[in-house]
Amino acid sequence: MQKVDEVLASKGFVIRRYFTLDEYCIYLEVFSVRDASTFMLYVSSRYELKIPTGLRENVYALKYMDMENIDTTTYAEEPDKVEMEQFYNHFSINFEGGTSNADDLEKRLQENYNYEVTLKDLKRDDLSNLKDIFRQLKRLLLCVKNIRYKISIFYKNYLCSITKDDELDAFLIMNFPKVEEHKLYIYLDLKTMFEKMNTFPIDIKTVKDGLQRLLDQNQLKHTKVLNEMIQQKVTILQVSERITEKKDDILKGCNKFELLLQNINQNEIETSNKLSQAHAKYTDFNLQGLHHDIERTHVISQLENELKKITALKREILDNIFTLRGQYDNMSLKMDKILFDNSVMIHEISKNFDKLSHLVHDK
């Protein structure tokens, strides 16, 4: 764990939450102190990574959920692959390297973990939302099936992921704060992180930006499909435009905070340099007399107080960026889910009307 901490710290990341199975870490939520971005780090069983001794906060146990036999298409007939790829096959990012050879997580869970959560334990709304998330991940799988960076979605106290083997996993997170928002994370495994030491922060941002562009494009596509199906052009387009405007406002807010963060980071560096210079200047203050001592104490205290103010302001800015990005993710994912589902269901309704029309004209 110390080595993982050191590698992440060298890239400006810290571990925000630990997710364990059989007392071993299998997921780490990683947070950037530079720009408030986040990603999920998967740790295969081969590493047997344990929680640092004495750590109690932000540690959450996982229970595996078997979703294999769950029907996720009951709301309507699932579109065939060709139809879905019209929306989800335009995501293309090239990375060097092959596929990971890490141990298969599902096999480890089946062999070593006997406490599965049954679907009878779930509330009806939670099960419905988990089905929605699985449908969504099956579509998003088309985007990342050829790269080593995958996707995780948080909802309430559930974690759903596209695994490194392009399968779907779901976990119940014990004692986790239940938040209604859907949160999108890019996911990579520990082996990939070490192999792509110099590029993984940029790769994660590239994949996340690409997914957001795809979701934005699909919002427009789904809106047009719905618009054509139900012939309520003004209403649907107005809603979509308002959502787009709201997302633009969120991005503008993020950009302002990011610019402010750059200035704060520069100010922090300059103040730290001044503090180092002050310490060096007053190294032999004991030989200079009382006046020199007072001057030293005043200068260093002033610089340290300034650094504390900068740190507090920086934390506030990072929190704001993190919150805004969470709102953006939630809005994008929900729009994609709602519009896609509605497009599919209205398509089914349209086909049924065609059948009725044939019945009328049949002799």
**330: nearest Cα among 203, 156, 200, 162:** 156
188 lies in the same domain as 314: no
Domain boundary among 169, 185, 215: 215
Cα separation, 342 vs 120, whole angstroms: 27
H-assigned helices in 62-199 = 81-88, 105-112, 124-144, 190-195
Please tell me whether residues 44 and 102 are part of one structural domain: yes
On whether both 11 and 153 belong to a single domain, the answer is: yes
Distance CA 356, CA 362 (A): 10
- Residue 225 in this model has a pLDDT that exceeds 60: yes
- Return the top range by mean pLDDT from 119-123, 186-190, 239-243: 186-190
Q: Are residues 17 and 127 in the same domain?
A: yes
Pair (11, 128) in one structural domain: yes
Name the pairing type of β-strands 24-32 and 59-65. unpaired
Arithmetic mean of pLDDT, 209-224: 88
Q: Is residue 285 part of a domain?
A: yes
**pLDDT confidence of residue 54:** 78
Q: pLDDT tens across 249-304, in order?
A: 999 999 999 999 999 999 999 998 988 888 777 665 555 555 667 777 788 889 89
Domain span at 288: 232-361
pLDDT of 109 reads 39
What distance in Å separates the CA atoms of residue 145 and residue 207, rounded to the nearest whole number?
12
Same domain, 237 and 284: yes
Residue 347 lies in a domain: yes
- 256-286 exposure pattern, b = at least 16 Cβ within 10 A, e = fewer: ebeeebeebbebbeebeebbeeeeeebeebe
Same-domain status, 210 and 236: no
Is 206 among the domain residues? yes
Of 291 and 165, which is predicted with more confidence? 165
Domain presence at residue 169 = yes
- Mean pLDDT calculated for residue range 65-75: 67
Residue 225 lies in a domain: no
Q: Is the pLDDT of residue 152 over 50?
A: yes
Whether 221 is in a domain gets the answer no
Tell me whether residue 227 is in a domain: no
Residue 356's pLDDT band (cuts 50, 70, 90): low
Q: Which tens digits make up the pLDDT trace of 227-247?
A: 776 665 557 778 888 999 999
Sort strands 38-42 and 158-162 into parallel, antiparallel or unpaired.
unpaired
62 and 204, same domain (yes or no):
yes
207 and 249 inside one domain: no
63-95 in b/e form (b: 16+ CB < 10 A) is bbbebeeeebeeebeebeeeebeebbeebeeee
Contact 65, 172 (CB under 8 A): yes
User: How many CB atoms sit inside 10 A of residue 128's CB?
Assistant: 13
Number of domains forming the structure of the chain: 2
Please indicate, yes or no, if residue 328 is contained in any of the structural domains: yes
